[in-house]
A and B are shown apart, each in its own frame.
Chain A
Amino acid sequence: MSALGKVVRSGVGRRRVQTLVMALTTFTAVLSSVLSLGLLTAVQAPFEHAFTTRDGAHLAVQFDGSKVTAVQTTATAHVAGVTEAAGPYPIAAALDTTVGTDCPKTDWAGHDNHPITVTTRPDLGSTSGMDQLVLTQGRWPTSPGEIALPANNYADACFGSSVVFSSLPGKPSFKVVGFADSVTNSATGFATADGFARLTTAGATTDEQMLYRFARAGTDADIATDKQAVAAAVPAGAVEDGQSYLTAEQQATGNAKAFVPFLIAFGILGLVLSVLIIAIVVSGAVASGIRRIGILKSLGFTPSQVARAYTAQAMIPATLGVVLGTVFGNLAAGPILNGASEQLGAASATIPFWVSAVVSLGTLLIVGVTASIPALRAGRMPAVQALVVSRAPKAGRGQTAQRLASRLPLPRAMSLGLAQPFARPARAVLVGAAVLLGTVSVTFAVGLGTAFSKYQATTMSSGFNVASDIVIPTADVGAPWGLYGPNDPRHAYLDATKVAAALAKVPGTKAAFGWGDSGATLVGAPIGGEPPVLYTVSGDFSWTNMQLLSGRWYSAPGEAVVGDKLASAVGIRVGDDVTVVQQNKQVSLKVVGINFDTHGSDYTAMTDAATFTAAGLTPRIDQFNVELASNANGTDWSTAATAALTPLNASVQSNSSDTNLLVIIMGTLVAMFTLMLTVVAALGVLSMVVQDTRERVHDLGIFKALGMTPRQTVAMVLTSVALTGLIAGLVGVPLGVVVEKATQAPMGHAIGRHLPPSVTHVYTAGLLLPLLAAGVVIALLGALLPAGWAARSRTATALRAE
């Protein structure tokens, strides 16, 4: 081994704690950076690639065929801002379907298959022009009895069997010969012109669809403006619907993209902490090794060799951290990416190689530059100066602080410690910065974790999920959920009036309300993603703590409240009218409020059952949620309720709510990163205090010779970081709050939601006050070990140290 190699090896070996700290902090920074940048690119890339290569449409507009002519729709291709257009294509929106009974899998045969929006085009398999459809399995339909569907709109096991349009008279049936899709979900069923005619003949309402690309289409606002321009070119009310590519993108990438904002925050915090720790450790190594540097130079080491020796001492652990961080980042990304890639039909869910390369090399470059600054200083240091310079702080520093501290009514050991940071202010600033970053991480993470918990609670324990007991049709007890679609005559419903009356008579019932999927479709709702649901509700649900974001709850027939995600996707605002269709009967509803509802489906709306009754539609109630009086005995109530409800073909069941896996994964990641960053911050403090203790070992010897007990020594060392920790904590908490707020909004946006104050307002006084102590706690945790070492140091040896 070369002389330089031996110097590096001995340096790494002598500073094991600092080496570990550098490896860990680099690992944390790289892990979070690889995850965040990797997820961002891996999630975004498949959609962007598909959108580009398939010439995806920015907007797919559906025109009411009864209000507009083909000439008028074709003319919209020349509206200002339109750069490319295709169509018009006939389209039949949101037709209820079931899996045909010819499906060999009995679990699926006859099962509800959700609504499908069918279109036809002159050449379904065209590989040119806008919105090229892609076949992922089978073939394109060639006869009137065949159809192609997106893979996620039909059971794999039933491929080759039929799909039945169950709500159309005569229930026309098509053989599924291919799995195919549009990148922007412009439609979810593709038939030949003759096949489409079968649907029209059977009674499906046919509209016209135009596809557009615009000069400006980067944001929801751009798309809304573009849509208005198209709508202005046709008779009023002719535009029924406009499907934005941004909604399709959100559907494809939403859950995985929700990870990105907080991972970016942790990545930045980790990287800054990494740079700080490396600066601390290498500067410390140079400062405490000045005499050693002098010896090396007197032995003939060149300035360049000295600089390289000290840079290498940081690069070795940093490289280890980079390698491990990259490997674990790639491994951790797998489960998160799987969902997104499946939706887009991508072959694999892996982080692109260039992300790992860029993060690794970038981190090593930053570490190298950070380490080389003090290392070059060491290299340039004259040998004589290095040999004679003392390691002790320059005389005069901290004297004023010591004088002032001695006046404080504190035990002397503590007042001595309190003044110590002022002897080395630069070092105190570095300790403070490490604690600050740790406090920011803790505050940020606690806020985010609390928000996750509140989101989980809001999702799982309020609104339609509230209550410990529910009432469902007896026929549904034990039956697979969703066996029959809401419009399927075999679907069992409750007699809402009778069940409500029966429940009211059961002793212990405090409140109850009934609800169910009406089976109605909302004109203009997103075609892709989860099917939109309009709930019909009976009774008072004010006790369920359902969240209203704007407007008010409906109070009269004809009014509706729309879920925030549906409102965002379609651009619905309070005061707008929406059209609802149930088995070819339609009614217009006035939107009076936007609510936060994460139950069941992404896209929801709700209205009173009386609205449907008044409009001649059928409200459907298949569940009652019951609130028991506080003094009610659950078993007694259940027995009495069962007796009262059995004659009504209704059964009492205990309510169960699933946990949100996404939130759990996020919470786990947040906890993991927080723990790592806090440990790294504390280790940064530890590293500095170790160095400080080594340099002050002679002073410690004097104190101990003068009768300072081990306990007093520990108190002195701990006090030396307490003030720095306190100040860093006081600054770090508001910064952590800012980071959390800056992260929360994009996370909500990524999942297409406006989070309610009950979720976003997390920093209560009860949470903030303990957080203010986080800085002191991190500083004390970091100083505890070296304080113990200081207390145990041999006084005789310490006194000899100069």
Chain B
Amino acid sequence: MTNAPMIDVREATKKYDDGPPALAGVNLSVASGDCVAILGHSGSGKSTLLNLIAGLDKPSSGSVTVDGTRVDQLGEAGSAKYRRASIGMIFQFFNLLDDLTVLDNVMVPAQLAGMGKGEAKRRAVELLGSLGIERHVKAYPQRLSGGERQRVAVARALMNKPALLLADEPTGALDSSSVEDVRRLLLDLNAEGQTIVLVTHDVQLAATTAHRTIELVDGAVARDVVNSGSGAGLAAAQARR
């Protein structure tokens, strides 16, 4: 096992047009198995940073390396294959496809990656079962609650066994009971060794889910602290012992 970080962002700057940069020389290093929360107000650059890590956008300068891959140097097809293989994403509004069943939604990433239909189905059912929503396999997303939809999104994100799970405001559209539901899910995943980057403006969620919180202000890292009392922090501490 090497000591190379899972995510290594160096002097990443992102500029749009002539305005101030969305990101200004951000440095970030995330170790494998960590759960890191990126905190910030609207427009602070946290989603931009997430997009750079996911290969959805490219930095104007600087580098983004994930699991040994220079993401900022990938072309369109390369980025797609990178996301397929290394990244799982969950979003505030779930981004499920309304005209596909829950099962089909979860299977899509594996099928795009060329996995056989039978194998993809087996894996999807297994994942949905482990997330406690196997009874909804034939349902369409609109018929599920917010928490259930986010679980489906998580199942879909984990379908290709990604090295990194990126969560963009995963509780932003949920009621309080569902927020707790998703928070526990993320803690469990991290406890199983899943590296997670969580983008949120919810200080409480960041403090209780991630073992480390990075706060962005105007595109720059303003604070980088370890949440020793968080569930993830405790789990990480236990794992380190």
Residues of A within 8 A of B (CB): 392-393, 395-399, 402-403, 406, 411-413, 416, 419, 423, 698-699, 701-712, 791-792, 794-796, 799, 802
Contacts and interface: CB of A to CB of B under 8 A. Distances in A.
Interface stretch (B94-102, B124-132, B184-192, B223-231): B94-102
B218 interface: no
Contacts of A701: 95
Contacts of A703: 108, 112
A756 B189 CA distance: 80
Interface string B99-117: 1110010011101110000
B81 A709 contact: yes
A796 B56 contact: yes
B98 A709 contact: no
A701 B97 CA distance: 11
Contacts of B93: 802
Contacts of B104: 402-403, 406
Contact of B112 (A399, A413, A799): A413
Given A399-B140, A402-B100, A403-B104, A707 B81 contact: yes
B112 A712 contact: yes
Residue among B56, B93, B109, B140 having the largest count of chain A Cβ atoms under 10 Å: B56
Contacts of A704: 56, 80, 83
Interface of B: 51, 54, 56-57, 76-77, 80-81, 83-85, 89, 91, 93, 95-101, 104, 107-109, 111-113, 140, 142, 156, 160
Given A412-B107, A412-B112, 13 more contacts: A395-B98, A395-B140, A402-B104, A403-B104, A412-B111, A423-B99, A699-B97, A704-B83, A705-B56, A707-B109, A707-B160, A710-B80, A796-B51
Contact of B99 (A399, A411, A705): A399
Contact of A796 (B57, B80, B95, B107): B57
A799 B80 contact: no
A706 B156 contact: yes
A707 B95 contact: no
A395 B89 CA distance: 23
Given A402-B104, A710-B80, A799-B56, A705 B95 contact: yes
Residue among B95, B96, B107 having the largest count of chain A Cβ atoms under 10 Å: B95
Contacts of A423: 99
B77 A710 contact: yes
17 contacts: A392-B98, A396-B140, A399-B101, A402-B104, A406-B100, A702-B97, A705-B54, A706-B84, A706-B89, A707-B81, A707-B85, A707-B109, A707-B113, A708-B112, A709-B112, A794-B56, A795-B56
Nearest to A702: B95
Given A399-B140, A794-B57, A799-B56, A709 B76 contact: yes
B74 to A, nearest CB: 12
A709 B80 contact: yes
Contacts of B83: 704-707
B91 A799 contact: yes
Contacts of A799: 56, 91, 95
B88 to A, nearest CB: 9
B239 to A, nearest CB: 29
Nearest to B52: A796
Contacts of B91: 799
A398 B99 contact: yes
A707 B57 contact: no
For chain A, what secondary structure do more than half of its interface residues adopt (helix, strand, loop), or is it mixed? Answer: helix
B78 to A, nearest CB: 9
A406 B97 CA distance: 14
Contacts of A708: 80, 112
Contacts of A792: 76
Contacts of B107: 412
A702 B98 CA distance: 12
A709 B77 contact: yes
Nearest to A402: B99
Contact of B108 (A403, A412, A791, A802): A412
Contacts of A706: 83-84, 89, 108-109, 112, 156
Contacts of A413: 112
Contacts of A403: 101, 104
Contacts of B84: 706-707
Contacts of A393: 99
B76 A419 contact: no
Contacts of B113: 707
A599 B241 CA distance: 104
A419 B104 CA distance: 13
A479 to B, nearest CB: 74
Given A412-B112, A711-B77, A419 B89 contact: no
Contacts of B56: 704-705, 794-796, 799
A416 B111 CA distance: 11
Contacts of A709: 76-77, 80-81, 112
Nearest to A401: B99
Contacts of B99: 393, 395-399, 402, 419, 423
Nearest to A798: B56
B209 to A, nearest CB: 22
A65 B107 CA distance: 98
Contacts of A796: 51, 56-57
Contacts of B100: 399, 402, 406
A414 to B, nearest CB: 11
A791 B76 contact: yes
Residue among A699, A707, A712 having the largest count of chain B Cβ atoms under 10 Å: A707
Nearest to A802: B93
B2 to A, nearest CB: 26
Nearest to B159: A706
B114 to A, nearest CB: 8
Residue among A402, A699, A709 having the largest count of chain B Cβ atoms under 10 Å: A709
Given A395-B142, A402-B100, A705 B76 contact: no
A745 B77 CA distance: 56
A395 B140 CA distance: 9
Contacts of A710: 76-77, 80
Contacts of A712: 80, 112
B219 to A, nearest CB: 16
Nearest to B111: A412
A707 B83 CA distance: 5
A706 B90 CA distance: 10
Nearest to A398: B99
A706 B91 CA distance: 12
Contacts of B95: 698, 701-702, 705, 799
Given A402-B104, A412-B112, A796-B56, A705 B89 contact: yes
Q: Which 9 A-B pairs have the closest CB atoms?
A: A707-B84, A412-B111, A709-B80, A796-B56, A795-B56, A706-B109, A796-B51, A707-B83, A702-B95
Nearest to A706: B109
Contacts of A705: 54, 56, 83, 89, 95
Nearest to B55: A795
B90 to A, nearest CB: 10
A703 B85 CA distance: 14
